[in-house]
Structure 1
């Protein structure tokens, strides 16, 4: 079932017109959310990021768009599947039909879809840099808009080259993120991740990992510029997103990595998720 503006519909009943602004202009944003055992994981973080993104894009936020209301709508959608376990939920918000580049209204529609999902972290995970196009730095790049063409092309490149993922770089050739998440590198107790000013998504799990590391005296956390060369010199590399949590990277070009720290962080993250439940 699909939740379209609070109405549960079969997929074939959902009608988006040719004037849909998410389709025509990429004029929409989305959150990818994990639901486990009828609980929305890190929901407050997702909600406040969504609200901040809507304000930045000058979308009107409906009065009913409270934390509680949207959580209820997500769970209504999940329960309509009549399944148990883990779910991947996409909450998409887009400006209402009408207008060219200038919209006729800043009012919004929303769509929620849920699918049963089970992600198992991979023991072997290889990445490389995608160099064909840049992920331009700036605040707009930190928002999860519907325009994911760069991520799509990088994912195709990874598939064509037997890679599990690709590193995206900005116009300064600095590391931004990977095709489907944020990236961290570890070297001599220093954990680095690209700063938001490099153009990376303000990832929910990225924030949780920084929070965990900041409380650990064994590590120093830096949000900074990172060159692709630093990845090759790292002791460990791992990537994060809301669904998989943490995926350790085992190979980049000819370099193989340890996975001890990333694996421990994944265990700590799971404790946070359980606490949230």
Structure 2
């Protein structure tokens, strides 16, 4: 089942293939986590979605309120018996018509929901190895910071990671600086300084990124910096971790010959669970 424009219907491939999202990647999306019939960080997701629609000149319908989207997402989760713990994706796409130049800026949306095993964020034990992806680079501009369906770099990099036995790859911008991982933002800890790239470097303006920055800035004896990260900086860091709203925090254990600790990541994860879900 999917939620199509507010109605829960069976899957219809024509909805997925005969539209501008499929033809041109003319769509934006949000992925949210549902815990005990509550959408985590709902306000942040909603305002990022509205901002993304404005950036690409989509017309925002009057009924696209935060309460409306919450109702639509949770209705589908309940219908699929997934409201205890689930991931939901809402995709907003420009309606049919035109080629590169659309005939309308009105929109439709799709929602799908998948159940998750756990409510709390947790860390997968074991090795987590990453490397750089250097075949293509992310351009430093506003479109790189929003969640559009143009994700071909992430796709090709995911294939590269799979072919080479990596758990993830780190993407570089056109200045050859590290900006993010394939499925989340990147944080580097060196001594008492925690660094993540600024959005101006071309990384996604991540919702979990915002939560981690807020939590870290409340910690004593820790300097939090939004600054440029070079590949050389990775070799000098003590910890390296990836964040997104579904996983929470994923520590990296190895980058090339460098191995990392995970103590800070685990401490931060506990604070995240306490703040987002409750102890």
Q: Normalising by the residue count of structure 1, what TM-score does the alignment of the two structures yield?
A: 0.96
Is 1:15 matched up with 2:18?
no
Match of 2:106 in 1: 107
Q: Distance in 2 between matches of 1:92 and 1:29?
A: 6
Is 1:136 matched up with 2:135?
no
Per-residue CA distance 1:183-203 (angstroms, 9 max, x = gap): 000001111101101100000
Q: Distance in 2 between matches of 1:50 and 1:111?
A: 13
Moved more, 137-146 or 76-85: 76-85
Match of 1:122 in 2: 124
Q: Distance in 2 between matches of 1:173 and 1:157?
A: 18
Q: Would the aligned equivalents of 1:19 and 1:98 in 2 still touch at CA under 8 Å?
A: no
Deviation at 1:48, TM superposition (A): 0.7
Deviation at 1:205, TM superposition (A): 0.6
Residues 40, 84 of structure 1: CA spacing in aligned structure 2 closer, same or farther, 3 A cutoff? Answer: closer
Q: Distance in 1 between matches of 2:231 and 2:152?
A: 22
Moved more, 182-191 or 112-121: 112-121
Match of 1:44 in 2: 43
Q: Distance in 2 between matches of 1:154 and 1:218?
A: 36
Is 1:241 matched up with 2:234?
no
Q: Distance in 1 between matches of 2:16 and 2:235?
A: 47
Structure-to-structure mapping, 1:22-41, within 5 angstroms = 22-41=21-40
Q: Distance in 1 between matches of 2:123 and 2:269?
A: 10
Q: Distance in 2 between matches of 1:162 and 1:234?
A: 23
Deviation at 1:19, TM superposition (A): 4.4
SS at 1:133's partner residue? strand
Match of 2:6 in 1: 6
Deviation at 1:225, TM superposition (A): 1.1
Q: Distance in 2 between matches of 1:196 and 1:177?
A: 10
Q: Which runs of 5+ in 1 are unaligned?
A: none
Q: Give aligned pairs, total.
A: 275
Pick from 214, 219, 224: which aligns with 1:216?
A: 219
Deviation at 1:14, TM superposition (A): 5.2
Moved more, 215-224 or 241-250: 215-224
Match of 2:68 in 1: 69
Q: Would the aligned equivalents of 2:16 and 2:22 in 1 still touch at CA under 8 Å?
A: no
Q: Distance in 2 between matches of 1:42 and 1:175?
A: 26
Q: Normalising by the residue count of structure 2, what TM-score does the alignment of the two structures yield?
A: 0.95
Match of 1:154 in 2: 157
Q: Which runs of 4+ in 1 moved over 3 A?
A: none
